[in-house]
Amino acid sequence: MTPEQFRAHGRKVVDWIADYLASVEEHPVRAQVSPGEVRAALPAHPPEHGEPFDAVLADLDRVVLPGITHWQHPSFFAYFPANASGPAMLGDLLSSGLGVQGMLWATSPACTELETVVVDWLAELLDLPSRFRTDERGGGVIQDSASGAAVVALLAARQRAGEGRHRVYVSSQTHSSLEKAARVTGIGAENVRVVDVDPGSLAMDPEHLDRLITEDLAWGFVPTLVCATIGTTSTTAVDPVPRIGEVCRDHGVWLHVDAAYAGVAAVCPEFRWCNDGVAEYADSYVTDPHKWLLTNFDCSVLWLGDRAPMVEALSILPEYLRNAASSSGEVIDYRDWQVPLGRRFRALKLWSVIRWYGAEGLRAHIRRCGDLADRFADLVAADPRFDLDPHHPFGLVCFRPRWPGASQAESDAATTELMERLNDSGELYLSHTRARGHVVLRFAVGSPATEARHIDAAWQRIAAEYDAVMAERKD
Ligand code: PLP
């Protein structure tokens, strides 16, 4: 494709995306295809001869779009959001256009230095401790995901802990990526200890953590990393980081703080409480702009107070990568801050987002979602047919229908049926979890496209479908 052909097709692609975003509401939120349908509509073999790019766009409409679940739909309330935005998409396109592979400072100095500036900017926007800024010891780095960041944090923690039989501490509410990190690093799932949670708040119990670590020390294990979560995946529970941090400090254990979803809320001063204890105790901290901060996947930022153990764990210097800049010690080579060698110029999209919205625009986005979540919670709270989880500090609201006279198993089945019927309708999309023994519905507000009318319409739809399920149960 020549630059002129690229210009012509590129315009069509940008138009296609703009039309898609302008009309995304017209699609059913969740893909309505059955397994295998998309694959069956595509040729089994690659083309021998090149095709016009228009043919790709035609198939995008014909085959791909029906198989898409529309994460940018204003009535997408499932899981956590995966925000996209114009500036992020354009930044990503520029990254593709430059085609840079930024494994070393020397392979594109701007790729490294822009990333350093942008992660320092984000640390400042979130009011993270100054020791996370890129200076002599600390620093941030963009990873593919919070899961990848957990692997890096665990490798660093293990490096600092030294040899021995390592143990990792999580709660039943910790994201599964920590167990995966334990497996990937060879520490093993059997060495992941599950700390109790408070039955009401579902937050980690620091006293139980202390007991488990003390027990493990007596048995000769090496307590290596504790993961505290700010905004758990199921219900956005918040672990007591200050008290967990004290336990970690007493025993010299690495504290990793996973704020993958909720951490970005700290762009707003009224959400800064979610950083409590991070400045004093966290060895590493991760949050995902690709969830709730308007930055297209993938963009997860990991900060460390001391990057030395990470670099020691991950740095290997084969002859073919040697260069004067790296040897001078004056530059950062981000390949030593992640598992893969190669890396995209992801900083461009985060840079574009921060510059386009500014701090005030980012704050407005978070606040709007928080207000809309409160609006939904108020609707649930006012309705005797439903039980609201009163803890909804961010954009996620958990609630559950009441099924009078039903056993626990029947209630769970009816709640699941309600959710499936709603999701099948294509009018909205929500997800579920199990909390405090019950199947619970999760309604996460996070899309920049969502307005009050979508919240109200979703609520009316949920209430009407509840009545329909209830009526059928009575028959
Ligand atoms: N940690 C928490 C608290 C999460 O909620 C999630 C995903 O929802 C993750 C980690 C994993 O995120 P990623 O997809 O960036 O690996």
Query: Residue for token digits 């764990």?
Result: 313
Tell me, what DSSP letter sits at residue 297?
A: S
| Whole-angstrom distance, CA of residue 209 vs CA of residue 244 | 8
- And the tokens for 326? 């790296």
Whole-number mean pLDDT of the chain? 97
Residue by residue, DSSP assigns 38-103 as HHHTS-SS--SS---HHHHHHHIIIIIGGG---TTSTTB-SSS-----HHHHHHHHHHHHHT---S
Task: Convert the pLDDT of each residue in 118-146 to its tens digit.
Answer: 999 999 999 999 999 998 799 999 999 99
pLDDT tens for residues 76-103? 999 999 999 999 999 999 999 999 999 9
Ligand 1 binding pocket includes 258 (Cβ within 6 Å): yes
Task: Indicate the burial class of 347 (C-beta count within 10 angstroms; 0-12, 13-18, 19 or more).
Answer: buried
Q: Is the Cβ atom of 300 under 6 angstroms away from ligand 1? A: yes
Closest C-alpha to 237, from 261, 266, 210, 269? 261
DSSP 3-state helix, strand, coil percentages of the chain (rounded to 5)? 50, 15, 35
| Span 201-226, pLDDT tens digits | 999 999 999 999 999 999 999 999 99
Q: What is the pLDDT of residue 409?
A: 95
Q: Is 145 in the pocket of ligand 1 (CB under 6 A)?
A: yes
Give the CA distances from residue 9 to residues 15, 38, 51, 53, 449, in Å, rounded to whole numbers and listed in that order: 10, 24, 13, 7, 27
Q: Is 470 part of any domain?
A: no
Q: Which atom of ligand 1 is the closest one to the Cα of 261?
A: 5
Distance of alpha carbon 176 from alpha carbon 179, whole angstroms: 5
**Does 11 fall in a domain?**
no
- Cβ–ligand 1 contact at 236 (below 6 Å): no
The yes-or-no verdict on residue 176 having pLDDT over 90 is: yes
Q: Are 267 and 294 in contact (CB under 8 A)?
A: no
Residue 44 lies in a domain: no
Rg (CA), the chain: 24
What is the 322 CA–ligand 1 centroid distance (Å)? 35
Q: How close is the Cα of 292 to the center of ligand 1, in Å?
A: 12
**Which residue range forms the structural domain that includes residue 299?**
100-344
d(CA 3, CA 91): 19
- Pocket test of ligand 1: the residue of 144, 175, 296 to mutate, having most ligand atoms within 8 Å of its CB, is 175
Cβ within 8 Å of residue 171, ≥6 positions away: 194, 195, 196, 197, 203, 204, 205, 229, 239
User: Which CATH number do you get for residue 324?
Assistant: 3.40.640.10
The answer to the question of residue 298 being in a domain is yes
What pLDDT is attached to residue 100? Answer: 96
Tens digits of residue pLDDT in 299-335: 999 999 999 999 999 999 899 999 999 999 999 999 9
Q: Which ligand 1 atom is nearest residue 149's CA?
A: 16
Written as one letter, the residue type at 69 is T
Report ipTM (2 d.p.).
Answer: 0.98
Question: Does ligand 1 come within 6 angstroms of the Cβ of 175?
Answer: yes
Return the ligand 1 atom nearest residue 147 CA. Answer: 16
Q: In this structure, is residue 403 part of a structural domain?
A: no
Angle, CA 271 vertex, CA 267 and CA 275 arms, to 5°: 85
Looking at the 3D structure of the chain, how many domains does it have? 1
CB 110 within 8 A of CB 319: no
Percentage of the chain exceeding pLDDT 90? 99
Q: Model-level pTM? A: 0.96
pLDDT band at 474 (very low <50, low <70, confident <90, very high): confident
Q: 171 CB under 6 A from ligand 1?
A: no
pLDDT at 271 over 90: yes
Look at ligand 1, atom 8, and give the residue with the nearest C-alpha. Answer: 233
Query: What DSSP character marks residue 183?
Result: H
206-218 and 241-251 are packed helices; what angle lies between their axes, rounded to 10 degrees? Answer: 20
- Give me ligand 1 centre to Cα 20, in Å: 27
Q: How far apart are CA 219 and CA 212, in angstroms?
A: 11
For 399-452, the pLDDT digits (tens) are 999 999 999 999 999 999 999 999 999 999 999 999 999 999 999 999 999 999
Closest listed residue to residue 352, CA positions, set 99, 85, 18: 85
Beta bridge partners, 194, equal 170
